[in-house]
Amino acid sequence: MKQGLRNTLILILTLLLIVGGGWYYLEFRYNPQIEDAIVELESTENELSVITDFSEMYANAQATYHDAVFVRENHPKELLLNSNTSLVYNYLQELNRAESFTELNFSFQDSVQFDDHGILNFELTGEGNYQNLVNFLYRIEHSRPFIKINSVLLQGISDAERLSRVNYSVQLSAYYQRGNWSEFTAHPETVTSPSGQVYNPYYPLIHSIPANENNLPDVENSRLIILTGTSAYIIDQNGDRKRLNVGDRVYLGRLSSINIEQGEAIFQLNRGGIVDRVILTLDQ
């Protein structure tokens, strides 16, 4: 055998021994460790998946908690301490004042009881200025005691002197405590009325003109005879002399101003919803 061929065979054999020995060493020395590492990796991945799920659940629970705290802090509500109807009535009378005042009638209807709370159902009826009624209902709805407005019925008034007022009927439910509420307290705190005017949809834009039952001066059938800085003297529809100061009432309106230089008395009249200005002059 040639020297070159023999050396080649020796190198091939040596390579086979090295590869075989390395494979044998890895297979029987490290393969069990690799299998154990794979099993541990799968277990760790499963544990990570569970932790990730819990993390998402915690984030959602934390967001819900913050929302609940915000609602609690910004819209606090408390149940009344007991079922005493006089407590509810006195509280409503406390709200029904000043810019929220209406003529109020309180009528208790029934009471419903549950394990931890009860409900008092009652009705409010009366008459009042529309703006005042809106303020009153706003204070009921936004104050701390848990009183629910179930329904509101309104009826406009056709009387010319009471066009800005409405008749109303309001059904309410007041929630009170029953059972173990020792760690809770109810404070009948109130809120102020909302700012700004509310349009009264029951106020007719055009309405009938009332009769002159009080025999007030009828400007359109009167004659101006004397003017001073603050007063106007007229001969009214009956031929009587009347003195009117700025702000005094006349039929359908008032004396709004006096222009002594122009010799004018200016009246502001409301003709059934149509606001008009009538001027009497000394020349006339």
Mean pLDDT for each consecutive 10-residue tract of the chain (284 residues)?
Answer: 66 71 64 72 82 84 80 71 87 90 91 87 94 91 88 85 87 87 56 71 72 87 86 89 90 89 89 82 75
Q: Domain-by-domain residue ranges, the chain?
A: 3-73, 85-177, 219-281
Q: What is the pLDDT of residue 49?
A: 83
**Contacts for 272-276: CB closer than 8 Å, 24+ residues apart:** 272/206, 272/207, 272/208, 272/209, 273/204, 273/205, 273/206, 273/207, 274/206
Q: What is the pLDDT of residue 45?
A: 82
Q: What is the pLDDT of residue 208?
A: 72
Residues 6+ apart with CB under 8 A from 197: 131
Class of domain 219-281: mainly beta
Q: What is the pLDDT of residue 32?
A: 67
Q: What is the pLDDT of residue 141?
A: 87
85-177 folds as Alpha-Beta Plaits (3.30.70)
